[in-house]
Copies of this chain bind each other. A is one copy, B any other.
Amino acid sequence: MSFDIPQLAEITIDDLEALGTGAGILGTGGGGNPRIGRLRLQTLFEDEEYPDSVKLVSPKDLPADATVASVGGMGAPTISVEKFPKGDEDYKSLRAIESFSGETVDAIIPGEIGGANSMAPLCVAAMADLPVVDGDGMGRAFPELQMDTFFIYGSPVNYAATTDERGNQVVYKDIDSAKRLEDLARAITVQMGGRSGYAFPLMTGEFISQYAIPHTVSLATELGRTVERAREQGDDPVKAGRELLGGKDLFEGKVVDVHRRNRDGFAMGSVTLSGLDDDSRLEIEFQNEFLIARADDDQVLTTVPDLICIVDNDTGAPVMTDALRYGQRVRVLGVPAPELLTTPEALDVIGPEAFGYELAYEPLPRGETGW
C-alpha cells in the first residue's frame, strides 16, 4: 500500500548543521558523531541521483496501518570516528527486512535522535525516497537497542538486519526478546569491526503515533539553531540551549581525567571534571552515553534516563564520549527525560538499576521541556 502522508516540514541542506548540533547535545555523549552523517547527507542532497530534501511527517499524521521501520548505526562511538561507514549499510538493512518479510516500508523513524543516528535515517530516507517521522525511540541516545520505546512498549521483535561496509548481511527473525536481539546484533557488530548499519523492527503507524518520542527531529534542529543564534548574537549559547530544553546547570569546569576503553562493543569509562576556580569535582560514568553524574561528596546529581549533556563552555557545541580530552572547558547540563522514558516499565529497562547501579531514579525538576 502507498500512503500520501501530509508534510510537516522539509529537511534541506540548510538544516543539517543545526540538526547535527542539536542531535549531538541530545546524544548525551553517544549516538555517534553527527559530523560524519551530516557530510554523507550533504553529499546525497547534492547528488542528482537523489532528492535534495527529505519530507518530515508528524507521527500523528501516520495512517494507522502504515509500515514504519527504524534505521541507524550500531557500535561504539569511539570506533565510528576511525572506521568510517561506507554509507549504504543501513539502507541495505532496510531492503533486507523488506525482502525477508515481504512488506514495504512507508516511512523511516530514527531509533535514537542522538548523535549520528539523527542523520542516518535521513540518508536512508533520501536513498529510498521515503518520508521521515518527526520523532524517535529514545528522545536522546542509549547504548542498547532494547532501550528503544518501541521495544519497551511492546513492539514485536520481528525482522531485524545488520549490514557491514562490505555488504555482509545478517538478518534476525522470530527473536524472543529485544534484549536477545541486542545480544545477537551486538556480537555481530563486534565481528563486523565494531560498527554496523541496522534496520528494525516493522511497526505500524498507529503504534508509532503512541510510543515514539514526538517531534525530536524538529526539537534537535531548533536546539541547534538556538545555540547558533546565541553564538552569532554574542549571547551565551549554553544558556540558550539549556533554556530551550528546560534543563539545569550541573557543573562548569575542565576535564582533568578520562578513563575510556572499548569493551564488548561499547565505549565504557568515566570522565572527571574540576572546577575552574576551585577544587570542586564532578565525575560522569558512561557506556557510550553519559549515565550518572556525581559531585565530589559522592552525591548523585543526575542519572539515566535524564539527560547528562556535556557542551563546550564557549560555543555550546556538544562534546561526545569519543572527543573527551584533558583540559577541555565544558559545561554539564542535566535535562529531564521525556515522560515516555520515566514510566515504571521504561525505568525497568533504562533506569539506573538497568545499568547496574544501586540507585533509584530521582527525576530532575521538570521545567518547560521541548518535548
A residues with CB within 8 A of B: 96, 100, 166-176, 180, 183-184, 187-188, 190-192
Selected from B96, B168, B176, the residue in CB contact (under 8 A) with A184 is B168
Residues from chain B with a CB closer than 8 A to the CB of A187 are 187-188, 190-191
CA distance A184 to B192 in the complex (A): 8
Contacting pair A176 B167 (CB below 8 A): yes
CB distance from A188 to the nearest CB of B (A): 6
CB distance from A176 to the nearest CB of B (A): 5
Contacting pair B168 A171 (CB below 8 A): no
Task: Return 6 A-B CB contacts under 8 Å, by A number.
Answer: A100-B100, A166-B176, A170-B172, A171-B172, A171-B173, A183-B191
CB distance from A48 to the nearest CB of B (A): 28
CA distance A166 to B181 in the complex (A): 13
Contacting pair B168 A174 (CB below 8 A): yes
CA distance A300 to B271 in the complex (A): 53
CA distance A166 to B173 in the complex (A): 12
Given A167-B176, A168-B172, A188-B188; 14 other pairs, CB 8 A cutoff: A96-B173, A100-B171, A168-B174, A168-B175, A168-B180, A168-B184, A169-B174, A170-B171, A171-B171, A183-B191, A184-B191, A187-B188, A187-B190, A187-B191
Selected from B100, B168, B171, the residue in CB contact (under 8 A) with A176 is B168
Residues from chain B with a CB closer than 8 A to the CB of A191 are 180, 183-184, 187
A181 (CB) vs chain B CBs: closest residue: B168
CA distance A171 to B175 in the complex (A): 12
